[in-house]
Amino acid sequence: ELKVEQNPLFLSMQEGKNYTIYCNYSTTSDRLYWYRQDPGKSLESLFVLLSNGAVKQEGRLMASLDTKARLSTLHITAAVHDLSATYFCAVDQFSGNTPLVFGKGTRLSVIA
Amino acid sequence: DAGITQSPRHKVTETGTPVTLRCHQTENHRYMYWYRQDPGHGLRLIHYSYGVKDTDKGEVSDGYSVSRSKTEDFLLTLESATSSQTSVYFCAIRKGGGSDTQYFGPGTRLTVL
């Protein structure tokens, strides 16, 4: 059974600082997805990582995938308040034909 | 905007009452999913569909049933609602078979008193 673990689950960081959210998964997969959820809202797709070594960047967020280590990271550079949200990673076990398995999410709070 | 709507968006009901939530898509995607989201549990899959009349159970399917008689509609039914089913319910869609992600609907907040 595929399990997806994120850490930390809660993260309070100061504006301007850097930090990394980690996503580990338990079985072989080369497809990983990151989502963002604002309070009271739905989930929004951020990144789709489809191969070992894949790296995607959007603004102050950068996601990477190491399929050998079964690890993805979401790196936040020079955090700003607007990045405060909950971030989920999700793993695709069977190449698009089964539901994604989600981590529990990391609630990020960026404070001045 | 992935063309997904959910109805109702908010509902308050009483224990023992049947409840049906509707997910409607305009994109003709093959795969549709129902998740519930609760604090401390993240997103948990209830049921999913891989085509008209083709459905399967997810992680937390007890107390729920689904139906998909048309490509565009996926219904989630709570046969006899319980307080433990108070949650936010999200529908998601996916084309399937490739690199695309799952796209989520706006959610339905259900309260069972």
- Residue-wise pLDDT tens digits, B31-60: 999 999 998 888 999 999 999 999 999 999
pLDDT, averaged across chain B: 93
3-state secondary structure chain B: CCCEEEECCEEEECCCCCEEEEEEECCCCCEEEEEEEECCCEEEEEEEEEECCEEEECCCCCCEEEEEEECCEEEEEECCCCHHHCEEEEEEEECCCCCCCCEECCCEEEEEC
Q: Does A104 touch chain B (CB under 8 A)?
A: yes
Instruction: Return the residue in A100, A101, A107 with the most chain B beta carbons within 10 A, the one to mutate for interface testing.
Output: A100
Architecture of domain B4-112: Sandwich (2.60)
The superfamily CATH assigns to domain A4-111 is Immunoglobulins (2.60.40.10)
Which one-letter DSSP state was computed for residue A83?
Answer: G
All structural domains of chain B with their residue ranges: 4-112
Tell me: pLDDT of A8 over 80.
yes
Rounded to whole angstroms, how far apart are CA atoms B95 and B113?
Answer: 37
> DSSP secondary structure string, A6-69?
EE-SEEEEETT--EEEEEEESS--S-EEEEEE-TTS-EEEEEEE-STT-EEEETTEEEEEETTT
pLDDT band at B12 (very low <50, low <70, confident <90, very high): very high
- What average pLDDT does the segment B62-83 reach? 97
Contacts A48 to B, Cβ<8 Å: 99-101
Residue in A closest to B59 by C-alpha = A101
CB contact under 8 Å between A45 and B43, yes or no, is no
**What is the pLDDT, as a whole number, of residue B99?**
64
pLDDT tens by residue, A92-101: 877 656 788 9
All structural domains of chain A with their residue ranges: 4-111
- What average pLDDT does the segment B5-21 reach? 97
Tell me: pLDDT of A36 over 60.
yes
Contacts A2 to B, Cβ<8 Å: none
Contacts A35 to B, Cβ<8 Å: 104
% of chain A with per-residue pLDDT over 70:
97
- What average pLDDT does the segment B17-28 reach? 95
pLDDT band at A39 (very low <50, low <70, confident <90, very high): very high
Tell me: pLDDT of B1 over 60.
no
